[in-house]
Structure 1
Amino acid sequence: MKEHRILIIDDEPWSREVVKALGHWDQHGIRIVGEAEDGLQGLQMMQELLPDIVLTDMRMPGMEGVALLEQMSSQHPSIQIIVMSGYDDFVYLKQAIRSRAVEYLLKPVNPEELNEALARTVKNLEAATRSIGSGNTPIVFADKNSLDQYLAYRQRIFSFLLMLDKQAVEAEFQKLGLFLEQSFANVNVSSASMAGQIGHDFLLMLGKFAGEHDLALEHVYDAISWDESEGRASWLSFQEAATELATSFGFVMDQFELQKTRGRLDPDEVKGYITNHYADEISLESVARHFHVSKTYLSRMFKQHTGENVSDLILRLRMEKARALIVEQAMPIKYAAQMAGYEDLTYFYRVFKKHFGVPPGGLRK
C-alpha cells in the first residue's frame, strides 16, 4: 500500500492531539507529515510538504477555514480535504462542498466517523485516477508514483505562477518536459497526443488564473503551435510542449505585472532617468532593476507610450552626445567616446558609423 501524507490544521494543540490519537493512521496507510496552527501557515506547509490530504478546522484566527478552502481550491486542486468544525454551520458546509472537501466532521470528533472519513478519502485518492486531464484522450501514467510526481510539478508551477516567478516556472517546465519524456518512453501511446492533453491541462490552469485576474488571453496562443482543424495544440514532443507553455505562462505573468503597475510607472520618469544616466553602464536590464519591474514589461510599456525602445533611446542619446562633443567642441574622439559611455573605442567607431553612416572623424571634414 502506498503511504499517503496528511497535514493537520487546527489552532488548538489539544484538538490536534485528539485527532492524532483517534486516527488509525497505519491501518489507512497515512503518515502525519505536519501540523499548522492557522490557514496561512497551512498553505506554506502545503507548498513545502506536498501532502495528499489536509484535515482542517474551520474556526481559526488569522486565515480561517473558508479563506483556506478558497485558496486550496485554486492553488492545490489535487489535495483531498477533510473539514472539521465545532459548529453545525450550513455556511461552512456549503463552502466545504464548493471547495470539493470530501468529508465534513463535527467536533468533538467521533473516532468511528473520523476513521470512516479517512478510509473514504484514501479510497478516493487510490481511485483518483491514474488518469487526469481532459479531452478525448486521458493522461494515463504507468503507475501512481508517476502521477504523484506529475501533480507535484503541476503544484509547484502553479505556486510559482502565483509568485510571478518566471525563471522558476521556466525551470520547472524544463524539468517536467524531461520527466514526461522518460515516463512515457516505454508506454504505447502517442507522445504528440499525450503532450497535447498535458498542455491542455496547463492551459486550463493558466486560463483560470487569467480569468480570475481579468487578463486577456488572446495573445497567449500566439506562442502555441495550434492545429486549427483539431482545435488543439499540436506539439510533437513533451519538450516542445514544455517550452511553449513556459512562454505562455511568462506572457500572462508579464501581463499581470503590467496590470499591477499600470499607472504607477511613469514613462516620462523612465525617460528622465535614462537621460541622466545614459553615459553610465546602463541597459534595459539595469533600468528595469532600478524601477523594480521586469524588463519585458518595461520594454513593452515604454515602447507603447513613447514609440521608442529603451535600448534605442540609450543609443540615440549616446550618439547625439558623442557627435556634439566631436563636432561642436572638437573633443578628441577617444574622450568623446568615454563621455558618451563607451570604453571600447573600436566598438564605438563601429556603432557610430552604423548610426550616422560615417566614422567619427568624417564629421569634422
Structure 2
Amino acid sequence: MYKVLIIDDEEPLREAIKILGDWELHGITEVLEAENGKEGLEAVRVQRPDIVLVDMRMPKLEGPEFLQIVESEYPDLVAIVISGYNDFNYMRQAIKSNTVDYLPKPVKKAEINKALSVAIARLEGKRKKIKEYNERNMAINMSLPMLKQHTYFSLIEKKFNIQTIKANLAYFQPDYANTSLQVILLRLLNLEKIAVTKFNQELDLLHFAVTNVINESGEEGIACYSFVHPKKQSDIFIVLTHKGNPSQAAKYEAASFIKQRIKKLEELIGIISIAAIGPVYPDPFSLNESYKIAEQIMNTINILDRKELVFNEPDEQAKLKMHSLTPKAPLMRHALEHDGRGIRHSIIKEYMRTVELSGYLGLGNAYRNQEELSMLLYDIALELGVSSEELAQVKGWIGADFEFKDAAEFERTLMLLVDRYGELIATVLIWKKAFDVNEIKSYIDRFYFQDIKISLFTEKYFISRVHLMKLFKEEFGCGIYEYAQKVRMEKAKELLNDPMLQIQVISELVGYSNNHYFSKAFKNYYQISPTEYRARQSDNRP
C-alpha cells in the first residue's frame, strides 16, 4: 500500500489530480495535500509519503529547492513534477533529482496515471530488493529465542509436526524428556497507557522490556521463557520448565516467582498485571492443555474483588453469573437519537448496579460486554444515518482510554464509549436538520469567480469532506470542482461572444488569475482555444 502527497498552491488543481488519479488501481490508499513548498516539506517529514506530485512555482518554497532538500533527506521518495512553465532550469532540476516525469498543466488523466504506474514500479523494485535482503538475513540469523517462541507457540496452539517439534526441543533443550512444563498467562492491564506515557507508543520496545524482566534468572530448578501472544498484544505467555516431576513445594515456588515478577514490572516500568497459572504436565505436547486452563482461570477472575496478583483456580461463579447489555438496546437507541446524555449514563449505571449486586463480574465477561456495547452502538449509529466512513474513526478510539484494571475503570470505559458515539450521532443529526446540498450549488452559481473551498461547507455543517462530496455527486451527477469548472467554462463561453472584452479580462472574470492557465483549461474543456472559439463565432455572425 502506498501514500501520495500532492503539493500545489491551487486547490482546484489538487482536486483535479485527486479526481483523475486511479488510486485504488495503483494500490494507493492515502492521498495527502499541501498548498505550498514549505507545508509540503513538513508533510514529507511527518507523514512520510512514498510519492510526491509537486508544482515547480509555489510560494514560500519553490519546487526546485524542495526537490533538492528531499533528494538529500529522503532519497527513496519518488517525485512527479507538475508545472505550467517550460523553464529549462526547472527541467534540469527535475532531471537531476531523478523525477519520474515532468507533466505540463493542465494535467490529463492518461499522463498522470502513466506517471503513477512508473513511480509504483520503481517503488516495488526497491521493496523487492529490501525484502530479498531481509529474507536472506533472517534465514542466516534466526536466533535461538525465535526458535523457542515458534516451538512453544506451536505447542500452545496444538498446530505442529511432531518430528519438527522434537528436533527443535532437542536442539535448545536436550534433556526435555526429563522435564515438566506449564504455561502461565500474564495479562498487562495498562499496556496502551504505559506505551504512550513511557515508550513513545513503541509497543515492541515495551514488550522487550517486559519479557526481559520476566526472563531474569528465577528459582533454582525452574527455567523461564516468555514471549508476547502473537494475536493479543496485552497477553504474555510464560513457559516454565521444571526439572523432573516437581513437588507441591516447587509449584508454590513458581507462583511466588511470578508474583515477584509482577511486582517488579510495576516498580520498574509501571505495568499493572495479573497472572493465571496453568497446571504442570510432564509431557511437552500437553502444553496446550496447560494454556487452556490458564486462559479459563484468567477469564473468570472477578474484577469486583481482585485482591490477588496470581490465580491458580477458575472462579466457579462464572458458570452462574453472566451479564449482558443487549437487553438495553431499545432504550440506548432512544437515548442516542434524542441526545439524552443523562439517560445513556443511567443505563450504564443501572447495569453496573446489577453487576455489583451479583457480587461477580468475570474478566472475560467484562471484555465481552465492552465489545458487545461497542457493536451495539455501531449498529445504532448506522441506523441513525452516521456513514461507515465517519464510524471508521471509532477504531482510533480503542486504546489506552479503554483499558481497565478494576470495576470502576471498567464502568468508565463504558461511559466513554456511549459518550463518544453519542457526540458523533448528535453531530450528524444536527447536520441532517440544517444541511441542504442545493446551498453549495447555489453558492457556486453565484461565486464561481472566487476560490471555491470545500472547507467552507465542512466547517459550517460539521460534515466530513468525503461525505459532503459524495452527497453532491449523488444529487448533481458530478463533483463539486467539476461543477464549478462547468459553470466557469459556460460563463467564459458567454463572455467570449462579446468582442469588446479582452481574453485576459474574461479569464479574471471567471476566476483565473493566469491567462495562460485559463486558455489551457478552456481548450481542455471544449477542445478549442478561447481565441479560436471567438474567431469561429465572429465568422458565423451576419
TM-score by length of 1: 0.38
Larger gyration radius, structure 1 or structure 2: 2
TM-score by length of 2: 0.27
